[in-house]
Structure 1
């Protein structure tokens, strides 16, 4: 008797993420000069009443109830610019320019050095050598109700052609950028973050291994694999074994933005969101669920493999 192997091999090694602040490894190409991503804090989930506006849907013109996720997105502060050059076919750091007017609430809690003897005029001097320009932004968690002061630092690429990206970077350097300047409603985003941590778990919960029958000759345990391998080879890498479960870095593709709102009172429950509190800033409503517990920072990125067909919904009402 044999059965299909348990668990996916697409997520090896199943280890803890280095940090809840994720590093984005790849960026899409778009024509518009705009930040290609934006960080936000997960709040919780709500129910929403939507009008199905997709003509080929069997529910066209009818109201449907869908679950949605609330994200709080306070404005980010652009505290620096990162310039890259092409060398041997790869991107190499050219220089980093930091703002000299970083707000005290952000600067007091930074764990990076912001000293720089360069200013924006240096960009024009090395313009011929620049291959890519990115922004260094800091979140402002002290504007939220999560009780956190230390900001997360992200490096975000700017879309569009190089010249327009440079002009856009100069325009937002040392200023705040809101989520409404980056994303639009009824567009798709990728959600990158760290999942809920489950700790050290056995093979049944971690890999969904079948529980062995508890009959009278059964003496070596039931919540374990029947065999972990032969004598040789000495190591079998892909046999289900106990270990870390959760707190993994994951990417979820093509989440639909239902709404980007400025009035948090329209979504706040009477007693606040469970394990979070009250939303105080701009918020984002995403269709469906996303990874991570409440208060965790997630990164929203322009879709790197967008769907050709996007479901068309009109938001009718939010059920708090």
Structure 2
């Protein structure tokens, strides 16, 4: 599978790792370092994948990140007023399904410069921050508990000497001079995700759009070791793309996998099959013929998902309060989201469904196209957000409402 890291970032981690046996200090351009198998980081993991496409850059606008990582918490439904003049639904209420994606602030720990070549982008060099948290260092090890945990120890010492600082400044200047695309290395704060047992942060490259190349590099360097909240990237009523890996179904047959017609009941040797998989000649099975095999756990991009709400911790937007429903209640339904728990960090409320099961990491990316449709530009006015239990047929919106209905139960 593809990886989040540039080849240089991979080489940096392996060279700094005691398991790789590299003793040389990481300085200068990393483009000449030996390539390493990306399986060193990921194994067979598909979940953390390199984002290949980002929105078109506009130098006239200020610098801004173009993507973010979140964790799917679960679904609920909302009631809103439709703003669609000429339609029968205009000014009427509609009920819609929404997905809650928890998005704790991401931490920027590096910057990568790319140059354009006839064969696409090639990474020029990578500059990392001085201090990396344990959760992101875990990403560079397969067995953290058995390792010596020495990744980036030599690299971070460069910031302590004058010579090392000059080397880092030289790399940044080289980036400003030759690079055509600038991307930051940012990781999630997985320790804030109380519903997840995982301790290893997800790391990805996020493209910086807007301003000149020098502005982009300065923008990235300024945010080293700092948190970037979700509202710095996405706003309410925006159309975004969601990239992730779908629910895995395992090995499945042709009827489930491709929806082919079942054969008659009396069919010899099975009926959930394709009757004829091809002619005598050409003497091979065409790729267009439905066959049994792996279903689900596929990398998918879903475009044009509307943001209904950006929930900020400590703000009214983090609760389920609306202008029409002033009931004090949290966005988490009674009993928590099934198989997830309580949403404690910032979150994004997205219209409709979202790829993957609960707890799975998803990439939220700005739309690649200029949105001009009436649906995309419509302002969303939420009237009601459902917080009843999602485990069964929930009747109550809050625990107080439930207690009031049942009264004091006998021991």
Please report how far the alpha carbon of residue 57 of structure 1 lies from its aligned counterpart in structure 2 after TM superposition. 3.3
Task: Describe the SS at the equivalent of 2:294.
Answer: strand
Please report how far the alpha carbon of residue 231 of structure 1 lies from its aligned counterpart in structure 2 after TM superposition. 2.8
Give the Cα separation in 1 of the matches to 2:253 and 2:139. Answer: 39
Give the Cα separation in 1 of the matches to 2:182 and 2:57. Answer: 14
Using a 3 Å threshold, how does the CA distance of structure 1 residues 24 and 106 change in structure 2: closer, same or farther?
closer
Give the Cα separation in 2 of the matches to 1:157 and 1:307. Answer: 20
* Structure 2, unpaired ranges of 5+: 1-43, 142-150, 159-166, 320-329, 388-411
Q: Which has the higher contact order (CA 8 A, sep 6+)?
A: 1
Task: Describe the SS at the equivalent of 1:165.
Answer: helix
**1:260 to 2:310 alignment:** yes
Structure with the bigger percentage of strand: 1
Using a 3 Å threshold, how does the CA distance of structure 1 residues 280 and 120 change in structure 2: closer, same or farther?
farther
1:96 to 126, 131, 146: 126
Question: In the TM superposition, what whole-angstrom CA distance separates every residue of 1:156-214 from its partner, at most 9, and x where no partner exists?
Answer: 11111334322321221221111011111100110000000000000000000101121
Give the Cα separation in 1 of the matches to 2:382 and 2:87. Answer: 17
Give the Cα separation in 2 of the matches to 1:273 and 1:173. Answer: 34
Cα RMSD, aligned residues only: 1.9
**1:279 to 2:306 alignment:** no
2:225 to 171, 174, 178: 174
Give the Cα separation in 2 of the matches to 1:120 and 1:179. Answer: 29
Q: Which residue pairs with 2:55 in the alignment?
A: 28
Task: Describe the SS at the equivalent of 2:234.
Answer: coil
What TM-score do you get using the length of structure 1 for normalisation?
0.88
Please report how far the alpha carbon of residue 67 of structure 1 lies from its aligned counterpart in structure 2 after TM superposition. 0.4
**1:19 to 2:46 alignment:** yes
Q: Which residue pairs with 2:279 in the alignment?
A: 230
Using a 3 Å threshold, how does the CA distance of structure 1 residues 126 and 225 change in structure 2: closer, same or farther?
closer
Using a 3 Å threshold, how does the CA distance of structure 1 residues 22 and 58 change in structure 2: closer, same or farther?
farther
Q: Which residue pairs with 1:164 in the alignment?
A: 215
Please report how far the alpha carbon of residue 84 of structure 1 lies from its aligned counterpart in structure 2 after TM superposition. 1.4
Instruction: Spell out the pairing of 1:17-166 with structure 2 (5 A cutoff).
Output: 18-31=45-58, 32=61, 33-88=63-118, 90-107=120-137, 109-111=138-140, 114=152, 116=155, 118-120=167-169, 122-145=171-194, 146-161=196-211, 162-166=213-217
Q: Which residue pairs with 1:206 in the alignment?
A: 257
Give the Cα separation in 2 of the matches to 1:93 and 1:306. Answer: 28
Contact 1:29 1:160 in 2 (8 A): no
Contact 1:37 1:300 in 2 (8 A): yes
1:197 to 248, 253, 260: 248
Using a 3 Å threshold, how does the CA distance of structure 1 residues 89 and 219 change in structure 2: closer, same or farther?
closer
Structure with the bigger percentage of helix: 2
Give the Cα separation in 2 of the matches to 1:58 and 1:167. Answer: 51
**1:269 to 2:337 alignment:** no
Please report how far the alpha carbon of residue 219 of structure 1 lies from its aligned counterpart in structure 2 after TM superposition. 1.7
Contact 2:106 2:187 in 1 (8 A): yes
Using a 3 Å threshold, how does the CA distance of structure 1 residues 126 and 30 change in structure 2: closer, same or farther?
closer
Give the Cα separation in 2 of the matches to 1:262 and 1:182. Answer: 13
Give the Cα separation in 1 of the matches to 2:218 and 2:88. Answer: 47
Which stretch of structure 1 is more off in the superposition, 109-118 or 196-205? 109-118
Contact 1:22 1:192 in 2 (8 A): no
Please report how far the alpha carbon of residue 80 of structure 1 lies from its aligned counterpart in structure 2 after TM superposition. 0.6
Please report how far the alpha carbon of residue 18 of structure 1 lies from its aligned counterpart in structure 2 after TM superposition. 4.9
Task: Describe the SS at the equivalent of 1:124.
Answer: helix
Contact 1:22 1:194 in 2 (8 A): no
Using a 3 Å threshold, how does the CA distance of structure 1 residues 168 and 19 change in structure 2: closer, same or farther?
same
What TM-score do you get using the length of structure 2 for normalisation?
0.69
Please report how far the alpha carbon of residue 101 of structure 1 lies from its aligned counterpart in structure 2 after TM superposition. 1.8
Q: Which residue pairs with 1:303 in the alignment?
A: 367
Question: In the TM superposition, what whole-angstrom CA distance separates every residue of 1:209-240 from its partner, at most 9, and x where no partner exists?
Answer: 1011214xx32321101101123322321111
Contact 1:189 1:253 in 2 (8 A): yes
Please report how far the alpha carbon of residue 293 of structure 1 lies from its aligned counterpart in structure 2 after TM superposition. 0.3
Please report how far the alpha carbon of residue 269 of structure 1 lies from its aligned counterpart in structure 2 after TM superposition. 1.4
Task: Describe the SS at the equivalent of 1:158.
Answer: strand
